[in-house]
Structure 1
Amino acid sequence: MDACEAVEKELQRVISKFNGVHENAKRMLGDVAKNFDDFKSSIAEVPAEEKLTTEQINILRETLTKTKEKLQRLTTDHRDLHGAVSKIGKTIERNFVSDFSTITRNDVLVEEQNIQLLNKVIAQHLQRNNLDDVAATLINESKLPAEEIVSDPFSNLHRIWEAIYRGDLTEALEWASEHSAKLEARNSSLEFKLHRIAFLQKLDAENGGGSPIEAIAYARKHFSKFVDKFEKEIQLLMGTLMYIPVGLENSPYRGLCGPNLMVEAADTFLKDACSILGITKDSPLTVVTNTGCTALPALLNLKQVMLSRQVLGMWNGRDELPIEIDLDSEHRYHSIFACPILRQQSTEENPPMKLVCGHVISRDALDKLCSGPTLKCPYCPVDQSPNDAKLIYF
């Protein structure tokens, strides 16, 4: 992001300079044209057989001199503009690295199995984004086994999500009714939001609604189960019935008009549906790409430091990162335990251990604190046997 901002800043500077040169050129050329027009007017009064007067010759020389000076200034401005444009290329080269060979592992794509796995992830990403025809072409050309491509339930959710945006609630209401118990267990407001939109649609005369009788019947049928949680919201909806003749957009309830409620319901549907079905909102390819974009600048800076200090041999193993990459909470999928004694992150070889007193330390710390058959907790004075410590799984 910083690289894009740096390039954009340089680009804006060039655009500003270009506009300045353009306006200056228009003004100068206008002045030159006016000078020649004035000179033509002055000599038009002289008969054809007479020679130019000394004053007219001086005016011509002055006009030519000013024209030459203005053209030279325009040439200089144009040359400076070329220099500013060339700086954009240098800024791009400085901020965007094209060679990632020092921090990548190209050998992983040598094996056919890994290539097929990559094609599979791309195909699933395409299916998630309703690009089934492109995904089918990729599957066919890469010769992926059809049985390995499992239909991603997200594609169905994405279709329903788009339908909610368009105001079509049929499939969304069916899905919510089918998963009503799970939604209620999650304390979700999805069902009510969908029925609220359906109720308002029956009051929308422009889209075939405007019938208070149908709206009241719909409310009696579907709102009774939501009275305890959404009593005030239902009261507001009932108040809209009085303004059907003038239209909700001309009433105190105009906030219920427009696409805001549909956007809110669509986002709630996608979040709750993904949670219930145990799938991620973003495709794995999107997550990996975004995470890589976050990690690459830090890794490239580290590589430059290592090059300058000639310590490249320190980064031999590429199965783990040499530094910690700070990702946002949305991209954290695993619990992390850091030993409070050794200040080290736990691993499979050095897992967290729960002591009898309830405090948790790493196995390496447990081994170092042992003094014979007993162990004294470093946080409380409880003596205990190290054999009583239990392995913890997060």
Structure 2
Amino acid sequence: MELNSLKDAFDRVAKKQKLSCSKTQEVMDQIVQEIEKTIEVMQSTTLDYKSVLAELKKKFHEIAPLSQLEGTQKELNIVLSKYPKALEKALNPDISMAYRNIEFDSHTVNQIIASHFYRQGMFDVGDCFVTEAGDAEEAAAMKSPFLEMYQILEAMRSRNLEPALKWAATNSNKLKENGSDLLLRLHHLQFVKILQKESRDEALMYARTNFATFAGNHMAEIQKLMGCLLYSDRLHDSPYTHLLSPTNWDIVAEELTRQFCNLLGQSYESPLSVTIAAGVQVLPPLVKFMTVMSWKKQEWQSMKQLPVPVELDKEFQFHSVFVCPVSKEQSTDDNPPMLMSCGHVLCKQSINKMSKNGSKTFKCPYCPSDIDAAQCRQLNF
């Protein structure tokens, strides 16, 4: 809403400025026109210059340029004076009020930043950072796997699948455990690449060598690829032309990146990028809260739980575990997280204990709501 109101304010300024410029240009054209007429008269007649200039002065009084411009300029000044206030309201320059004085482990933070540079392929920047941060010894361990990944991806961009196939074959068991068919996708690309060279026999030999182990679960896909053999000399003009799309390579490259990070025990998205993106979302409500509660700054610094609800988009909701805020224990199958009618969540054992096994209602530990254990619902993360 704030950004929409800011856009509306900007549009009003732009509209008034356009009107002001148009009116100014119109008045200037009138003045130039009268001056040109006066020059023509002075060049073509022997009239006294003073009378000609007096007539020009009279025309200027009739045009009244300042009076014509005054109205539009006044309207422009009004909206211009309001725009900085709208900017200040929508884009609060002082975000430091939401800062909490918390000690950070600088070594861990440096590792996260360095890892971000390496996983983005910015190896020179990462090396420079770890050197200045004094963590060069651990940098090699972080850099090496991502260096291998980008070498594989770079080879794929050059349409060389050998490094990718070698890596996928080496890690085939782990890929199967993850439910990934990356190895088959890579063989798929290699098969089509061979067939594009109009080498039907070589493509058939490649299929016999590499597709047999996937026949049990992917027969339909393999049969489709075998159908391509009938059009080896005109694959671009066939029912299988979609197999030649460069998008197929991009999709497989993304899957390889995802699985590579997965086998490293890391997320596909950079933790630093996710943290910053989530922080951008939660910052406005926190700044707004602190603007209202500025007189309680010390209390804000000592709070152990956020006093206001902070909503995050679905892409940031990926908790694999839940820790009960009452018992401080992780949820299990026997002790699952339960959503109470007020919207807060506790583990089942905590609810049973506080409700005497459902025999009475109890107060939520975080709000004054009365909770009936029978109305609590199990949550699945």
SS at structure 1 position matched to 2:348: strand
Distance 1:168 1:322, change over 3 A: farther
TM-score, with length taken from structure 1: 0.70
Shift of 1:318: 3.8
Pick the aligned partner of 2:183 from 187, 191, 196: 191
Q: Does 1:141 align with 2:129?
A: no
Distance 1:216 1:335, change over 3 A: same
Shift of 1:57: 7.7
Q: 1:301 maps to which residue?
A: 288
Distance 1:78 1:194, change over 3 A: farther
Q: Which runs of 5+ in 1 are unaligned?
A: 339-344, 372-377, 380-393
Shift of 1:213: 3.6
Q: 1:105 maps to which residue?
A: 100
SS at structure 2 position matched to 1:362: helix
Question: Hey, what's the Cα distance between the residues in 2 that align with 1:31 and 1:243?
Answer: 73
The one-letter amino acid paired with 1:136 is D
Q: Does 1:317 align with 2:299?
A: no
Pick the aligned partner of 1:348 from 313, 328, 346: 328
Question: Hey, what's the Cα distance between the residues in 2 that align with 1:184 and 1:289?
Answer: 33
Question: Hey, what's the Cα distance between the residues in 1 that align with 2:141 and 2:53?
Answer: 89
Q: Could you say what the CA RMSD is over the residues aligned between the two structures, in angstroms?
A: 4.1
Aligned pairs for 1:46-85 within 5 A: 46-47=44-45, 49-51=46-48, 60=56, 63-65=59-61, 68-69=64-65, 73=68, 77=72, 81=76, 84=79
Question: Hey, what's the Cα distance between the residues in 2 that align with 1:352 and 1:236?
Answer: 45
Q: 2:114 maps to which residue?
A: 123
Kept after mapping to 1: 8 A contact 2:168/2:183: yes
Q: 1:91 maps to which residue?
A: 86
Question: Hey, what's the Cα distance between the residues in 2 that align with 1:12 and 1:166?
Answer: 47
Question: Hey, what's the Cα distance between the residues in 2 that align with 1:5 and 1:168?
Answer: 48
Greater shift after overlay, 191-200 or 259-268? 191-200
Aligned pairs for 1:255-274 within 5 A: 255-274=242-261
Kept after mapping to 2: 8 A contact 1:336/1:346: no
Question: Hey, what's the Cα distance between the residues in 2 that align with 1:244 and 1:23?
Answer: 65
Q: Does 1:333 align with 2:319?
A: yes
Deviations 1:89-120 (A, max 9, x none): 433322233334443233525xxxx3333223
Question: Hey, what's the Cα distance between the residues in 1 that align with 2:16 and 2:194?
Answer: 56
The one-letter amino acid paired with 1:181 is N
Question: Hey, what's the Cα distance between the residues in 2 that align with 1:30 and 1:50?
Answer: 25
Pick the aligned partner of 1:179 from 171, 186, 189: 171
The one-letter amino acid paired with 1:284 is P
Paired residues in the alignment total 348
Q: 2:210 maps to which residue?
A: 222
Question: Hey, what's the Cα distance between the residues in 1 that align with 2:154 and 2:71?
Answer: 55
Kept after mapping to 2: 8 A contact 1:173/1:191: yes
The one-letter amino acid paired with 2:131 is N
Question: Taking every aligned residue pair, what percent have the same amino acid on both sides?
Answer: 25
Q: Which runs of 5+ in 2 are unaligned?
A: 336-346, 359-372, 375-380
